[in-house]
Structure 1
Amino acid sequence: MSHSQQLYELLGDGSEINIVCHNNPDPDCLASALALGRIAADAGIDERSILYSGQISHQQNRAFVNLLDIDLQPFEAATVQNRQSDSLLAFVDHSIPGTNNTVPTDTDVDIVIDHHPAEDIDARFVDHRDELGAAATILTEYVRTLDIDLDTDLATALLIAIRSDTLDFLRGATTEEYAAAGHLHEHADPEMIRQLSNPSVSGGTLDAISTAIDNRRTDGAVLISHVGRTTERDALPQAVDYLVRLEGVQTAIVFGLVSEAIHISARSPDPRVHVGNVLHEAFDDVGSGGGHHDVAGGEIPLGIFADYTSDDAQVLDIIEQIITERLVAELNLSETTED
């Protein structure tokens, strides 16, 4: 029995489904959740919810939710802890309770569909393909195989998700991404794709990227920078995507203080560096970090510094020193030198 058939059979036993996105969901997670909801509806589930934690702050993500009118609800632990036996819990674009989500770690999960590197995934149904460039590629396969109605909004969402997670097929794209995109293209809305591909950029995001440029430090082909404190969490991946294009740079890592946590974003087209492993090894004892060999992220709770507000500049200096030292040690760099 194929993955799609196994999933459909499991959905047929449920009365409701809660589809949990990872923290601060991106287009790949949102489109995958939307597609799974459509498949669940076709299987006869009337009660369907898409839940998330964190913020939807990236300008593309906000436009994605607004233009496609995706019904999102804040995640609450009670929703999954007190559910009935025929109430299904699904993860898309992530896989482990408590890792990049606020789901209690002892929660039983029914469905996991993911493409990020992970170990010890435990669920009744698991489709984990870390060789793929997007979770939306898997959901597109399901939609095709199960002959689910592919309306314009769903096709547009899945196509944008694949393009976004692969940087328009320049990062981690496989033949499966190209095949999925080819199928979706004829059903998608070109004008909506244009709007979603070119959203406006906030002043805060631009300021954070500017700060990352000013604070960059390089050692050979490695660049490390920070944005200081910012309210624009999604400025970090945008900054690192920009800085990794700097001539001579093969690995770029940008971190910053957002609310009460340190966020980290990394990129590395260098086949000698696995940035997912770098962030995991450097910060697993104080937070979380991981991802693919070329794309990764991490989050570290601010901990003892969370209530220290009398001298924000000093806190930022301490954070910069500690995070940079850990990265330098894990990357086996001699020292970082400012450009």
Structure 2
Amino acid sequence: MKDVADFLTQAVRSGQRIVILCHRNADPDAVASAVVLAEVMSSLGAQVKAATADDLAAISEVVLNSFNRKVEVNPELDFDLAIFVDTSSFGHLGEFGKKLRDSGIAFAVIDHHRPVEEMRQLAKFYYVREDITSESELIYRILVEMGLKLTPEQATLLLVGVISDTGHFRFASPETFTVVEGLLKAGADYNRALELLKPPDDLSRRVAMLKAAGRSELQRINGRLIVFSDLGSFEGDAAGMLVRIGADVAFVGSEEKGEFRVSGRASPEFLKETGIHLGEMMEELGKQFNGSGGGHAGAASVSGKGSFEEVKKQIVKMLQRRLFKAG
């Protein structure tokens, strides 16, 4: 932790123009981490702004608007250093990632997903803690190491990120609650954070969940319930819903113009009993299908070139190997 604190301190003193950058379709954990880190570095004198690739998740826009914060989408490549947060590879930045990589601009990675060796080799600085359950927790712990204090609004933003990325603490570790205690002492408003993360009473989302359930395809592999479904939006939400109603692991995908994207979710019991890591599976799939993938053990995604049917077949083969090996 001291190494990353020292790196950020040096970055502030360097006078470089810095962008704190998070992945496309940025979720609350990503935007909270980017905004708070950018604000804190700015208060120390850095030329820094928060940004994201391509777009924001709808709920992230709600969160940012509530705090009167903004992140820039696809910023101009006129900065000296990009610091990736909640982002493990260029692939998670979409087309913007390709431009950034080709630009040769220096970048650093401060992340909590499965490590990507290629990024470790290319990055100016690389710090990944997969054992930490949200990026917001990681940012908080780094700022504590730097001896910095948060405002109540910054603490609430990070608390929103923690609650969101841990599935309302379903995937929390004991250390998560130590971080939450620190955020509350810094003035975080727990009730406000919960209110912001309430699922919207959105007819389109409700319809999507019902469609995903109606289209679901159940397979049994070594006694485990594996569910697939297809949907054009809310894939991650739908996969989580299928796990909540009984699947051990669920994959919801979409396909358009020869390209696919798939979100996977797994129950904590499934992960504990099998040792399977969805992020590892998605990373492997991304390489097979000329795309990118990764994530956490229980929540991950992949996109690439090909059909959803082809990807499903590969997922089944991968699960068969892993489940029969796990016993």
TM value normalised by structure 1: 0.81
Name the CA distance, whole Å, in 2 between partners of 1:278 and 1:2. 30
Residue 112 of structure 1 corresponds to which residue in structure 2? 109
Q: Which amino acid aligns with 2:43?
A: D
- Percent identity over paired residues: 23
Moved more, 12-21 or 274-283: 274-283
Contact 1:14 1:88 in 2 (8 A): no
Q: Deviations over 1:79-130 (max 9, x none)?
A: 33x54xxx32211111333444422334343332100112222323322101
Describe the SS at the equivalent of 1:331.
Answer: helix
Contact 2:55 2:73 in 1 (8 A): no
Q: Which amino acid aligns with 1:262?
A: F
Tell whether 2:8 aligns with 1:4: no
Contact 2:91 2:292 in 1 (8 A): no
C-alpha displacement at 1:193, in angstroms?
1.5
Name the CA distance, whole Å, in 1 between partners of 2:14 and 2:243. 47
- Give the direction of change, closer, same or farther, for the CA distance of 1:222–1:289 in structure 2 (3 Å limit): farther
Contact 1:36 1:139 in 2 (8 A): yes
Name the CA distance, whole Å, in 1 between partners of 2:303 and 2:82. 24
C-alpha displacement at 1:176, in angstroms?
2.6
Name the CA distance, whole Å, in 1 between partners of 2:283 and 2:93. 13
1:60-209 correspondence runs (5 A): 60-76=59-75, 79-80=76-77, 82-83=78-79, 87-101=80-94, 102-104=96-98, 105-106=101-102, 107-120=104-117, 121=120, 122-171=122-171, 173-186=172-185, 187-209=187-209
- Give the direction of change, closer, same or farther, for the CA distance of 1:70–1:320 in structure 2 (3 Å limit): same
- Give the direction of change, closer, same or farther, for the CA distance of 1:226–1:290 in structure 2 (3 Å limit): same
Name the CA distance, whole Å, in 2 between partners of 1:97 and 1:31. 20
Tell whether 2:293 aligns with 1:289: yes
Residue 36 of structure 2 corresponds to which residue in structure 1? 35
C-alpha displacement at 1:320, in angstroms?
4.5
Name the CA distance, whole Å, in 2 between partners of 1:291 and 1:193. 24
Q: Which amino acid aligns with 1:140?
A: Y
Q: Which amino acid aligns with 2:82?
A: L
Q: Deviations over 1:205-246 (max 9, x none)?
A: 222211110111122223332234x3x3xx111111111123
Name the CA distance, whole Å, in 2 between partners of 1:280 and 1:16. 31
Tell whether 2:28 aligns with 1:14: no
- Give the direction of change, closer, same or farther, for the CA distance of 1:328–1:95 in structure 2 (3 Å limit): closer
Name the CA distance, whole Å, in 1 between partners of 2:204 and 2:151. 35
Size of the aligned set, in residue pairs, is: 303
- Give the direction of change, closer, same or farther, for the CA distance of 1:110–1:4 in structure 2 (3 Å limit): same
Match of 2:262 among 252, 261, 264: 264
Q: Which runs of 5+ in 2 are unaligned?
A: 322-327
Name the CA distance, whole Å, in 2 between partners of 1:291 and 1:135. 12
Name the CA distance, whole Å, in 2 between partners of 1:327 and 1:282. 8
Q: Which amino acid aligns with 1:159?
A: L
Describe the SS at the equivalent of 2:55.
Answer: coil
C-alpha displacement at 1:36, in angstroms?
1.4
C-alpha displacement at 1:258, in angstroms?
6.7
Name the CA distance, whole Å, in 1 between partners of 2:160 and 2:229. 29
Residue 316 of structure 1 corresponds to which residue in structure 2? none
Q: Which amino acid aligns with 1:274?
A: H
Match of 1:251 among 249, 252, 255: 249
- Give the direction of change, closer, same or farther, for the CA distance of 1:217–1:169 in structure 2 (3 Å limit): same
Describe the SS at the equivalent of 1:181.
Answer: helix
Which runs of structure 1 show a deviation greater than 4 angstroms over 4 or more consecutive aligned residues?
Answer: 258-261
Q: Which amino acid aligns with 1:330?
A: M
Q: CA RMSD in A?
A: 2.3
Residue 316 of structure 2 corresponds to which residue in structure 1? 328
C-alpha displacement at 1:40, in angstroms?
1.3
Describe the SS at the equivalent of 1:89.
Answer: strand
Contact 1:11 1:43 in 2 (8 A): yes
Q: Which amino acid aligns with 2:74?
A: F
Q: Which runs of 5+ in 1 are unaligned?
A: 303-318, 334-339
- Give the direction of change, closer, same or farther, for the CA distance of 1:322–1:6 in structure 2 (3 Å limit): closer
TM value normalised by structure 2: 0.84
Describe the SS at the equivalent of 1:237.
Answer: helix
Name the CA distance, whole Å, in 1 between partners of 2:258 and 2:148. 42
Contact 1:23 1:53 in 2 (8 A): yes
Tell whether 2:276 aligns with 1:276: no
Name the CA distance, whole Å, in 2 between partners of 1:282 and 1:2. 33
Describe the SS at the equivalent of 2:131.
Answer: coil
Name the CA distance, whole Å, in 1 between partners of 2:255 and 2:9. 42
Q: Which amino acid aligns with 2:280?
A: N
- Give the direction of change, closer, same or farther, for the CA distance of 1:280–1:27 in structure 2 (3 Å limit): same
Contact 2:260 2:308 in 1 (8 A): no
Describe the SS at the equivalent of 1:110.
Answer: strand
